[in-house]
């Protein structure tokens, strides 16, 4: 739920820069013959020509768009992507380019690297926050103040064309032929307010940055310039492509007056719905009629104040200085009939995903001297007969161990722990060949809590030798497996609506209608898994240190484990890990360790030669690696998983009938709306989506806690139990 922050009466100058049809531009740079032609990038699944994920502005003129249709399915709205075949009907000359593929999934490194190039240029002028693969916020306050002091706009003799092409909201322009002259007058007005003068300087700076981006990368972008992030973001989408829009304070009311309330960041979900249905608020302007008191009474103090502020275009949200990603993720969806129904198939894909993740982690460590601490597994599953089942697969996390094999092992262990919980929700008890009708429709692994490796006297090797003291077993697996609390919305902790799945997202899975056929092998796996799961309590719900195992012999004395291992040798290490976790309470603190770290470093250094690397350095001295060559090259550092998301969520789209997820329309007006299907959301990469849709996705993806599961010592009521302390 939204939380009111310290609000400044803004003398800040904030820009939001958004690339134009980004993937298309990247592909057109690769193939210059495509420039100027109607072009679209399609997902790698070629069904019906592949779903469109990016569309050039030339193609948009012929009616080609990402989203092709909206229809109602079981009382919810369902959005479908336009397919390549459909695009060809609308625009026969269209050039369709397939997203690059590696490991059976979209490979987004090219887009990541392209985004990094842009960020390295934009960050030259001020604090820079990479909000998604192709979106950046800039705090240009200092640069604008400096310009105002040293070379104020009115002193500029020749104002660049790009600056004059700015759109200034609220500026009356009678004759379009005079537009540039009117804009020049506004920008260079000597008796303008201090705030407007700062914005005018911002317009000069942003235009200059955009021209630099074009010159150095060949990409065009659009921008909004305003006193805060919220307004800058709304403005950047208003005039595209290759344009910029300035929001003077005096035009804020006019901008927001008719702006649909549900399109506002954080209001796309239940809070926005409540405003509509309970207060009759349909536009941001409608909110103005309510006093702060009234809004606080209805929605709580924080949210009430936050609403009162946004009605007036007030937002104190800071631009975070963040050029490097907060996490790395690799995910894949398996919609419709592609759902994974055996442990073996899950393991296969986890291995692929972990390999990619591991490469990106290695690259991050090499280039940025950063290491990640936490490995998290997200999955989405269905269980026949429960239309809500897709919300119930719990995310799991554990300390991250470097090295592809270890990450693969740990990810599988996390998956098994999650599956155990998922199935136990249904009081699942398997005996014999009972068919449990589960399927996995999305898998992802992510690495988070990324921190710099301590510098100074500590060498990397020393750091690792301390973090992973020698002597621990090389076949150790997961130290701690914990339920991953789904990323909370910015509103967490407040008192209202978000956190509940928006009704428009509550879809049933088509697979449940079609039934599931399990192979014999699959049944064996499930049977064994169930047996295993019954033996492994304590894997979930609590984060505590566990003893590490490495003693398969002890494990195989246990009947269920022996069964499991004999039938599924691939799971041996996982059974070991799970068994170890079972022992955790008895064992108390575990020894940390990773005896293979030296080996890892050897492998790591060897692996670096497989691709060519090129770095760019930004004004803040941050080295931004660009990777070229082999697709096995790890992802870039400035990446945003938005790209990842963007393609992942579109890949593997299956037959429409099986793809009847729904989408959320959260983009501001003037921009092609995002659309995605429930079946296609990769939770690990939400961080890199455009922020306005992160909120809703997070609330939707948050696993529901089982009512009968209580985290010991975790609740305040527990703490204040009457017998406490007696
Ligand atoms: N993307 C995707 N799937 C989506 C939305 C986006 O794969 N549903 C990818 C392709 C886009 C990139 O992310 O090029 C950036 O998304 P934007 O929403 O910013 O859209 P574009 O940059 O393509 O177009 P616009 O000029 O309208 O911003």
pLDDT digits (tens, 9 = 90+) for 476-508: 334 457 765 433 332 322 222 222 222 222 222
Ligand 1 atom 24: residue of nearest CA? 21
| Domain end among 52, 82, 104 | 104
Q: Is 18 in the pocket of ligand 1 (CB under 6 A)?
A: yes
Distance, in Å, from the CA atom of 370 to the CA atom of 354, rounded to the nearest integer, reads: 18
**Residue among 320, 268, 310 nearest 290 (CA):** 310
Residue 340, domain extent = 328-427+436-452
**83 CA from centroid of ligand 1 (Å):** 15
**54 CA from centroid of ligand 1 (Å):** 5
Q: Is 22 in the pocket of ligand 1 (CB under 6 A)?
A: yes
**Residue among 701, 683, 680 nearest 333 (CA):** 680
Contact of 568 with 610, CB cutoff 8 Å: no
The β-bridge partners of 223 are 17, 244
Ligand 1 atom 7: residue of nearest CA? 646
Domain-located, residue 448: yes
Domain-located, residue 481: no
Please report the pLDDT score of residue 9 as a whole number.
54
Q: Sign (positive/negative) of CA torsion 355, 357, 358, 360?
A: positive
Domain-located, residue 38: yes
pLDDT of 701 above 60: no
Q: How many CB atoms lie within 10 A of CB 2?
A: 26
Q: DSSP string covering 53-79, please?
A: EEE-HHHHHTT--SEEEEEEETTEEEE
Ligand 1 atom 12: residue of nearest CA? 22
Domain count, the chain: 3
Q: Sign (positive/negative) of CA torsion 50, 54, 59, 63?
A: positive
Give pLDDT tens digits for 384-419.
777 777 668 999 999 999 999 999 999 999 999 999
| Domain end among 279, 307, 323 | 323
- Our mutation pick for probing the ligand 1 site, out of 41, 45, 54, counting the most ligand atoms within 8 A of Cβ, is 54
Q: Sign (positive/negative) of CA torsion 432, 437, 442, 447?
A: negative
**79 CA from centroid of ligand 1 (Å):** 16
Say if residue 448 is in the same domain as residue 349.
yes
In total, the chain counts a number of residues equal to 726
Distance, in Å, from the CA atom of 309 to the CA atom of 298, rounded to the nearest integer, reads: 15
Tokens of 433: 């060949």
| HSE toward the beta carbon, residue 664, CA cutoff 13 A | 33
Domain-located, residue 474: no
**Residue among 262, 264, 243 nearest 312 (CA):** 264
Domain-located, residue 304: yes
Say if residue 341 is in the same domain as residue 417.
yes
Distance, in Å, from the CA atom of 329 to the CA atom of 377, rounded to the nearest integer, reads: 10
Please report the pLDDT score of residue 694 as a whole number.
55
Q: Is 53 in the pocket of ligand 1 (CB under 6 A)?
A: yes
**611 CA from centroid of ligand 1 (Å):** 28
Task: For residue 20, give the ligand 1 atom closest to its CA.
Answer: 26
The β-bridge partners of 452 are 370
Say if residue 333 is in the same domain as residue 377.
yes
Contact of 90 with 63, CB cutoff 8 Å: yes
pLDDT of 714 above 80: no
b/e map of 462-493 (b: 16 or more CB within 10 Å)? Answer: eebeebbeeebbebbbbbbbbbbebbebbbee
Q: Is 59 in the pocket of ligand 1 (CB under 6 A)?
A: no
* Least confident residue range of 95-104, 254-263, 571-580: 571-580
Provide the percentage of residues in the chain whose pLDDT is more than 70.
58
**689 CA from centroid of ligand 1 (Å):** 10
Q: Is 646 in the pocket of ligand 1 (CB under 6 A)?
A: yes
**Mode of pairing for the β-strands spanning 167-168 and 244-246:** parallel
Please report the pLDDT score of residue 106 as a whole number.
87
Which of the pair, 271 or 558, is modelled with greater confidence?
A: 271
Q: Is 647 in the pocket of ligand 1 (CB under 6 A)?
A: yes
Q: Is 195 in the pocket of ligand 1 (CB under 6 A)?
A: no
Q: What is the DSSP letter of 384?
A: T
Task: For residue 671, give the ligand 1 atom closest to its CA.
Answer: 27
| Domain end among 275, 298, 323 | 323
Which of the pair, 465 or 553, is modelled with greater confidence?
A: 465
**Residue among 294, 326, 444, 453 nearest 376 (CA):** 444
Task: For residue 643, give the ligand 1 atom closest to its CA.
Answer: 13
pLDDT of 346 above 90: yes
Ligand 1 atom 6: residue of nearest CA? 646
Distance, in Å, from the CA atom of 275 to the CA atom of 307, rounded to the nearest integer, reads: 10
The β-bridge partners of 451 are 371
Q: Is 671 in the pocket of ligand 1 (CB under 6 A)?
A: yes
Q: DSSP string covering 431-465, please?
A: -TT----EEEEEEEEEEEEEEEPP-TT--HHHHHH
Indicate which CATH number applies to the domain containing 310.
Answer: 1.10.150.20
**Burial class of residue 670 (count of CB atoms within 10 Å of its CB; 0-12, 13-18, 19+):** middle
Tokens of 487: 């990323």
Distance, in Å, from the CA atom of 537 to the CA atom of 139, rounded to the nearest integer, reads: 50
Say if residue 398 is in the same domain as residue 308.
no
Q: Is 238 in the pocket of ligand 1 (CB under 6 A)?
A: no
Contact of 392 with 703, CB cutoff 8 Å: yes
**Mode of pairing for the β-strands spanning 39-42 and 127-132:** unpaired
Q: Is 19 in the pocket of ligand 1 (CB under 6 A)?
A: yes
Q: Is 345 in the pocket of ligand 1 (CB under 6 A)?
A: no
Domain-located, residue 576: no
Question: Omega of the bond prior to 73 within 30 degrees of 0, cis?
Answer: no
Contact of 340 with 440, CB cutoff 8 Å: yes
**217 CA from centroid of ligand 1 (Å):** 18
Please report the pLDDT score of residue 467 as a whole number.
52
Question: Omega of the bond prior to 623 within 30 degrees of 0, cis?
Answer: no
Give pLDDT tens digits for 190-221.
999 999 999 999 999 999 999 999 999 999 99
- Our mutation pick for probing the ligand 1 site, out of 19, 118, 132, 666, counting the most ligand atoms within 8 A of Cβ, is 19
Task: For residue 647, give the ligand 1 atom closest to its CA.
Answer: 7
**Residue reference for tokens 């593997």:** 652
Say if residue 444 is in the same domain as residue 360.
yes
Indicate which CATH number applies to the domain containing 336.
Answer: 3.30.1490.100
Q: Is 220 in the pocket of ligand 1 (CB under 6 A)?
A: no
Distance, in Å, from the CA atom of 129 to the CA atom of 659, rounded to the nearest integer, reads: 34
Domain-located, residue 216: no
Say if residue 299 is in the same domain as residue 383.
no
**326 CA from centroid of ligand 1 (Å):** 21
What's the rounded mean pLDDT across residues 306-312?
Answer: 96
What's the rounded mean pLDDT across residues 71-95?
Answer: 79
Q: Is 676 in the pocket of ligand 1 (CB under 6 A)?
A: yes
CA trace torsion 421, 512, 681, 389 (10° rounding): -30
**22 CA from centroid of ligand 1 (Å):** 6
Distance, in Å, from the CA atom of 250 to the CA atom of 191, rounded to the nearest integer, reads: 15
Give pLDDT tens digits for 147-190.
999 999 999 999 999 999 999 999 999 898 999 999 999 999 99
Task: For residue 134, give the ligand 1 atom closest to its CA.
Answer: 15
**Confidence class for position 335, pLDDT limits 50, 70, 90:** confident
Provide the percentage of residues in the chain whose pLDDT is more than 90.
48
H/E/C letters for each residue in 118-132? HHHHHCCCCEEEEEE
pLDDT of 588 above 70: no
Please report the pLDDT score of residue 72 as a whole number.
53
Ligand 1 atom 9: residue of nearest CA? 646
Indicate which CATH number applies to the domain containing 75.
Answer: 3.40.1170.60
Say if residue 75 is in the same domain as residue 37.
yes
Q: Distance of CA 3 to CAs 260, 490, 594, 700, Å?
A: 20, 7, 42, 19
Q: Is 21 in the pocket of ligand 1 (CB under 6 A)?
A: yes
Task: For residue 642, give the ligand 1 atom closest to its CA.
Answer: 13
Residue numbers annotated as active site: 135
Distance, in Å, from the CA atom of 299 to the CA atom of 308, rounded to the nearest integer, reads: 11
Tokens of 637: 């550092």
């Amino acid at each position: 739920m939204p939380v009111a922050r310290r609000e400044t009466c803004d003398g800040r100058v904030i820009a939001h820069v958004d690339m134009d049809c980004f993937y298309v531009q990247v592909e057109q740079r690769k193939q210059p013959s495509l420039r100027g032609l109607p072009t679209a990038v399609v997902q790698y699944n070629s069904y019906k020509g592949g779903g469109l994920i990016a569309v050039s502005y030339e193609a948009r003129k012929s009616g080609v768009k990402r989203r092709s249709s909206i229809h109602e399915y079981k009382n919810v709205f369902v959005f479908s992507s336009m397919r390549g075949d459909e695009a060809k009907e609308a625009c026969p000359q269209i050039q369709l380019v397939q997203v690059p593929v590696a490991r059976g999934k979209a490979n987004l490194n090219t887009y990541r690297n392209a985004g990094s190039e842009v960020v390295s240029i934009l960050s030259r002028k001020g604090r820079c926050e990479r909000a998604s693969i192709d979106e950046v916020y800039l705090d240009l306050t200092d640069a604008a103040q400096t310009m105002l002091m040293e070379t104020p706009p009115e002193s500029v003799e020749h104002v660049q064309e790009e600056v004059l092409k700015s759109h200034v909201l609220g500026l009356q322009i009678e004759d379009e032929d005079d537009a540039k002259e009117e804009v020049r007058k506004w920008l260079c007005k000597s008796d303008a307010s201090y705030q407007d003068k700062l914005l005018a300087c911002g317009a000069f700076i942003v235009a200059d940055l955009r021209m630099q981006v074009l010159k150095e990368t060949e990409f065009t972008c659009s921008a909004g310039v305003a006193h805060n992030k919220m307004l800058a973001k709304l403005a950047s989408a208003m005039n595209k492509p290759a344009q910029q829009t300035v929001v003077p304070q005096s035009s804020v009311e006019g901008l927001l007056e008719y702006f649909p309330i549900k399109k506002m960041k954080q209001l796309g979900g239940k809070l926005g719905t409540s405003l509509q249905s309970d207060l009759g608020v349909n536009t941001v302007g409608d909110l103005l009629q309510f006093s702060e008191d009234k809004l606080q009474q209805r929605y709580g103090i924080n949210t009430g104040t936050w609403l009162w502020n946004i009605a007036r275009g007030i937002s104190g949200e800071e631009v975070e200085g963040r050029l490097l990603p907060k996490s790395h993720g690799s995910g894949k969806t398996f919609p419709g009939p592609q759902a994974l129904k055996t442990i073996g198939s899950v393991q296969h894909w986890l291995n692929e995903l972990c390999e990619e993740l591991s490469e990106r982690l290695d690259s991050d460590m090499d280039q940025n001297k950063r290491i990640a601490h936490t490995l998290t597994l997200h999955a989405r599953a269905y269980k026949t007969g429960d239309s809500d089942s897709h919300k119930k697969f719990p995310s799991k996390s554990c300390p991250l161990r470097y090295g592809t094999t270890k990450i693969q092992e740990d990810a599988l262990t996390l998956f098994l722990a999650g599956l155990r919980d998922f199935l136990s929700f249904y009081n699942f008890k398997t005996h014999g060949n009972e068919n449990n009708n589960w399927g996995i429709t999305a898998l992802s692994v992510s690495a988070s809590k990324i921190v710099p490796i301590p510098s100074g006297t500590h060498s990397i090797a020393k750091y690792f030798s301390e973090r992973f003291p020698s002597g621990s077993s090389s076949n150790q697996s997961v130290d701690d497996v914990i339920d991953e609390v789904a990323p909370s919305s910015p509103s967490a902790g407040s008192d209202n609506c978000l956190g509940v799945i928006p009704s428009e997202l509550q879809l049933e899975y088509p697979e449940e209608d079609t039934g599931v056929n399990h192979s014999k092998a699959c049944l064996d796996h499930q049977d064994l898994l169930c047996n295993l799961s019954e033996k492994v309590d304590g894997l979930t719900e609590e984060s505590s240190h566990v003893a590490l195992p490495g003693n398969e012999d002890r494990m195989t004395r246990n009947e269920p484990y022996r069964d499991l291992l004999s039938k599924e040798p691939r799971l041996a290490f996982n059974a070991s890990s799970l068994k170890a976790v079972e022992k955790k309470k008895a064992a108390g603190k575990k020894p940390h360790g990773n005896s293979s770290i030296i080996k890892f470093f050897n492998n790591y250094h060897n692996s670096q030669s497989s691709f060519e690397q090129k770095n760019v350095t930004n004004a803040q001295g941050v080295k931004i690696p660009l990777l070229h060559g082999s697709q096995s090259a790890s992802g870039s550092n400035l990446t945003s998983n938005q790209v990842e998301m963007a393609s992942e969520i579109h890949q593997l789209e299956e037959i429409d009938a099986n793809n009847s997820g729904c989408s959320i329309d959260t983009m501001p007006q003037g921009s092609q709306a995002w659309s995605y299907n429930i079946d296609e959301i990769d939770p690990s990469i939400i961080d890199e989506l455009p922020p306005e849709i992160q909120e809703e996705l997070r609330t939707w993806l948050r696993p529901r806690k089982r009512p009968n599961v209580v985290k010991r010592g975790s609740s305040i009521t527990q703490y204040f139990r009457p017998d406490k302390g007696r």
